Amino acid sequence: IYILAIESSCDETAAAVVKNGREVLSNVIYSQIALHTEYGGVVPEIASRKHIEKINQVIEKALADADKALTQMDAIAVTYGPGLVGALLVGVSAAKAISFASGIPLIGVHHIEGHISANYIENKELDPPFLCLVVSGGHSHLVVVKDYGEYEIIGRTRDDAAGEAFDKVARAIGLGYPGGPKIDKVSREGNPDAIHFPRAKVGDAEYDFSFSGLKSAVLNYLNSCQMKGEKMAVADVAASFQKAVIDVLVDHSMDALAKYGYKKFAIAGGVASNSSLRKTFEEACAKRGIAFYHPSPVYCTDNAAMIGAAAYYEYQNGVRHGFDLNAVPNLKLGERI
């Protein structure tokens, strides 16, 4: 089964050809990051316009790189939520037009289901059930993957997502956008135990996260440095912040693994490409005899190969969408519209 997959939910215009859900024949990503950098974050209107400009080229390149013709595709898959509505609409419209013109079935895919499914690409033996930590720009979810296409969210963030915290703190300490990779890099020069930032517990929900208090603690620390006329050690602040985030993520994940008894654990989303996070999880899982799975960095941040991977199992489950498929900016995981 060959699937042409399209992703345009945020600031990456992406297309890929994926065979049987696990073999990536092409993976084309046009990143708009440079365009949004001067604004310190993604500007939705600019994102939509750039998607329109790039989408046809990106799709054509995905087919060319895979050395396949459109007529060889068994399905056209596209992210239809969650994400920026104007950005999503570009991919959804392109996919519907291609499906209509070619008669090839259309499959709408949940963006976070895509992030989770990125793990299937390089881990051919991984199959549900397993526990997955999704940490991206907009989500921090602890998810039980019960089966293909079947999810139970057992923990979520009450405020900021992990990636959002990275981006906001990076901006505050003068590292700029996008914050995650920059904090990752400068943290290697810093001492993670230099400053103790709080690890938030959400009282009534064991596996929920909260990162806005941590963000405030970093801002307070910066203010106090300024008031005392001290220069803050950027690398130490970054490393200490990063460690506070990772500690909570690891704690909650290991508690959930123990409680639910899963022996397989995966991570997904842009923050999952963080080098210290990967190392910490690797050690924590090894200590407990748990198999640890993670996608390569290129499959952690937004891409269309992960959408093709998710779509394959939707295809097998009989999911097909009509031309009334619409962008759903707040689509819930496991929900089908």
Interface ranges with Mg ion (CB under 5 A): 10-11, 302
Dihedral angle sign, alpha carbons of residues 6, 35, 267, 325: negative
Contact 83, 44 (CB under 8 A): no
Tokens 């020069």 correspond to what residue?
189
* By the rule CB under 6 A, 79 interacts with ligand ATP: no
Which entry of Mg ion, Fe ion, ligand ATP, none binds 114, CB below 5 to 8 A by partner kind? none
Q: Which residue's CB is nearer to Fe ion, number 82 or number 128?
A: 82
* Cα–Cα distance measured from residue 171 to residue 179, given in angstroms and rounded to the nearest whole number: 7
Q: Which of 81, 128, 180, 295 binds ligand ATP (CB under 6 A)?
A: 180
What part of residues 250-279 is at the interface with Fe ion (CB under 5 A)? Answer: none
Q: Does 190 bind ligand ATP (CB under 6 A)?
A: no
Residue ranges at the known binding site for Fe cation: 111, 115, 302
Which positions from 4 to 33 touch ligand ATP by CB under 6 A, shown as an x/- string? Answer: -----xx-----------------------
φ, ψ for residue 298 (rounded to 5)?
-65, -25
Q: How many CB atoms lie within 10 A of CB 161?
A: 23
First to last CA, the chain: 24
Rounded to whole angstroms, the Cα distance separating 226 from 326 reads: 49
The values of phi and psi at residue 160, to 5°, are -75, 150
Q: Which residues, 259 to 318, sit near ligand ATP by CB under 6 A?
A: 269-271, 273-274, 301-302
Choice between 104 and 252, CB closer to ligand ATP: 252
Task: Tell me how far, at minimum, the Cβ of 32 lies from ligand ATP, in Å.
Answer: 11
CA distances from 113 to 161, 223, 281 (A): 17, 40, 21
Q: Which stretch binds Fe ion (CB under 5 A): 53-61, 130-138, 303-311, 326-334?
A: 130-138
d(CA 127, CA 149): 12
Helix, strand, coil distribution of the chain in percent, nearest 5: 45, 20, 35
Is residue 81 near ligand ATP by the rule CB under 6 A? no
Runs of H (alpha helix) within 108-193: 111-122, 162-172, 179-187
Which residue ranges make up the annotated binding site for substrate?
134-138, 167, 180, 184, 274
Q: Least distance (Å) from Fe ion to the CB of residue 7? A: 8
184 or 302: CB nearest Mg ion: 302
Of 178, 190, 192, 308, the one binding ligand ATP by CB under 6 A: 178
Q: What are phi and psi of 291, to 5 degrees?
A: -75, 130
Q: Which of 113, 160, 167, 208 binds ligand ATP (CB under 6 A)?
A: 167
With CB cut-offs between 5 and 8 Å by kind, which of ligand ATP, Fe ion, Mg ion, none does residue 86 bind? none
Q: Contact positions toward ligand ATP, by CB under 6 A?
A: 9-10, 83, 111, 115, 136-139, 163, 166-167, 178-181, 184, 269-271, 273-274, 301-302
